[in-house]
Amino acid sequence: MRNHTRTRILAAVAAAGVLLHAVPASAFSDITNDKQAAIVQSLQDKGLIQGISADKFAPNAKLTNAQAVQLIVDAIGLDSAKKKTNAPSWFLAVPQDAWYTGALKTALERGIVIDGQWNANGNPTREQFAKLLYLGLLQKGNYAKVSKYKAIADAKQIAPKNRVAIEYLLLTKIASLDGKKNFRPTDAITRMEAAEMIYYAERMVNKSYASSDKATVIYKVENVDPSFNKVTLTRTNLPGTGYGLKIRKIEFVSDTEAIITYAPTDPPSGGSGTAYPAHAVAYVPIVYDITVKAE
């Protein structure tokens, strides 16, 4: 079944995808997991997160409500809504000069509903953070709708109003279950757990770059249905007409990893022949993490 899926994709369309850059050892001494170090490094490079000191990230510390809202607004790239919604009554008591007030105001304007009273220093649970992130993602595009639920061992602990949000994040690989298939919805979300979700969410909605010495390429991943992501690869800063982009090969190196190799193309000599467009689109199964590289 897996081989049929791969063959269909290879035959159907060229592709590009998400690049998880290799990074040096973590700048934070309290992160020893290589994958987590890469995630934190990527988010830090983009100015989305910072440590609690020069060499400490405190991955197991609880995230605060203020940090959660600021992180989601910044990572997804939300801006003030043209059609503003009425702020809840508790917003009047929020200090207008607080570092998080701008992000909180934007979130509320964009329809990110915050249940209950606001406590900037309170700690959101995993399901509460998932709901806020889900609502933020809905502001950026028409993503896949949840058509069926996954088997979650502790599903009965999830508040009904948060179930779709959690299912959506699981569907799009933004969130994951633990080894016992638990989501742990009522646990306070840690800084590392939030960073992991934000990393995959930001990767889904924002453009990424895969440059070579010959071309600069941007690529964007959009979830379009329960099984596939739409991946758009575009060559920018073209030196003239006729320059384009071509996908050379797609290698499925494991059941969850694929490598996309591209090459920039020059105008055909003599003005004849095939001129490839400066972009390519593919529909890639959501189970694959994709690395994009130049030929």
Side by side, the strands of the sheet bearing 279-285 are 208-209, 216-223, 228-236, 279-285
Evaluate the CA torsion angle 181, 182, 183, 189 in order and state its sign.
Answer: negative
Average pLDDT over the chain, rounded to an integer = 80
Give residue 207's pLDDT.
54
Q: How large a percentage of the chain has pLDDT more than 70?
A: 80
Q: Give the Cα separation of 198 and 71 in Å (integer).
A: 8
Domain of 158 in residue numbering reads as 63-205
What average pLDDT does the segment 107-123 reach?
A: 90
Same domain, 88 and 189: yes
Same domain, 142 and 108: yes
Residue 259 burial (CB count, 10 A): 15
Q: Structurally, how many domains does the chain consist of?
A: 3
Between residues 140 and 79, the one the model is more confident about: 79
- Domain limit, last residue, from 59, 86, 110: 59
In a domain? residue 8: no
Same domain, 95 and 200: yes
pLDDT tens track for 162-185: 999 999 899 888 999 999 999 999
Same domain, 30 and 153: no
pLDDT at 38 over 70: yes
Give residue 186's pLDDT.
98
Model confidence at 131, in pLDDT bands (50, 70, 90)?
A: very high
Between residues 279 and 73, the one the model is more confident about: 73
Same domain, 126 and 186: yes
| DSSP codes of every residue in 209-245 | E---SS-EEEEEEEE-SSSEEEEEEEEES-SSTT-EE
pLDDT tens track for 226-241: 777 777 788 877 777 7
- Domain limit, last residue, from 205, 220, 235: 205
In a domain? residue 13: no
Between residues 3 and 67, the one the model is more confident about: 67
Same domain, 97 and 55: no
Model confidence at 262, in pLDDT bands (50, 70, 90)?
A: confident
> Which residues lie closer than 8 Å to 165 by C-beta, 6 or more apart?
127, 130, 131, 133, 134, 135
Same domain, 77 and 55: no
Same domain, 283 and 178: no
In a domain? residue 2: no
Same domain, 27 and 150: no
- Domain limit, last residue, from 178, 205, 232: 205
